[in-house]
Amino acid sequence: MEYTCDECYNLRQKSIEKCPLCRRNTFEGRVIGWSSCVRCTNCGMQVASAGGYPESCHVDDREYSLIVFKPDENTKLVSLAKILNQNVLDLKRQFIDGQIIVNGKVLDCLEKTNKISELGIVCEIDNDITKEFPRIITCPYAHGQYDDWMEFDEEVEIKYNSMFEWFVDLFPEDNIWFKQKCNEMEAYPEDGMHTVFGMVVVPYILEIAIKDNNKAKLAFDFIERMEVFGITQIAEVIEFTVLDALNGIEKDKRDICISYMGKETKAAFEAL
């Protein structure tokens, strides 16, 4: 689906709804990039969709142009050459009647215009750009600015990458086991949560499910909390890596694991 410049801008305004977890009107959402991102300022629940909201100016593949007028100082010419990624002498020869034409995609043209203008060099952006995207010169979203929401992706990434550490911290007496298993399988947190959960956490769960009732309860309580944590990437590790692996084991072991599952975990498992 394509959006007009105004539709795209309006789509990215912050909305507030009732949080499905704490039931307060503190569920703030907006479209960032091509994903719908929502977070509760009260309880901290966060959800980031996989995508589906294209930004018109960000996906425009057409070529546009800029008119750049020859700077009156050599220092400015040197800076201009860096922006355009050209040799200074070659750039100097290109000026005809005191100006050059620079071509590029819409956001590239916008970025170059801003940098060139900051140098005090006269630069005119293609009229076709402002006709197609009338908000683009001042639109913060075209420039990738989302105020405090710039931190949203970082927060999600930090929490996602903390999953293995959170799990291991539940079983401090088994730290050596986890280190040895990581080395044996050559699977570490930096390889990604799907990798380390699939090759280290799942074998651990299978072992304690049979041998240690208390540890099994801790492990599946953790899985339940991660399933309802509110971050899509975290739930995907639980569903597509942990639960999918448990779905493929022998029936007697699978039934033991199911007996420890919480409500939401069991529902996700049955939906596989």
> What's this model's pTM, rounded to 2 decimal places?
0.51
Q: Does residue 146 surpass a pLDDT of 70?
A: no
Whats the size of the chain, residue-wise?
272
Query: Which one is predicted more confidently, 65 or 23?
Result: 65
Class of domain 64-132: alpha beta
pLDDT given for residue 272 in this prediction: 87
Pairing of strands 64-69, 123-125: antiparallel
Find out if CATH 2.20.25 is the number for domain 5-56. yes
Query: Which one is predicted more confidently, 152 or 70?
Result: 70
pLDDT given for residue 50 in this prediction: 62
User: What is the rounded average pLDDT of the residues 36-56?
Assistant: 74
CB hemisphere CA count around 120 (13 angstroms): 7
pLDDT given for residue 154 in this prediction: 67
DSSP character at residue 229: S
Q: Lay out the sheet containing 99-104: strands in order across.
A: 99-104, 64-69, 123-125
Domain spans of the chain? 5-56, 64-132, 162-270
DSSP character at residue 33: T
Model confidence over 180-218: pLDDT tens digits? 999 999 999 999 999 999 999 999 999 999 999 999 999
DSSP character at residue 191: G
DSSP conformation letters of 112-175: HHHHHHHTT--EEE-HHHHHH-TTTTT-TTTTT--GGGGGHHHHHHHHHHTHHHHHHHT-GGGH
Q: Does residue 10 surpass a pLDDT of 90?
A: no
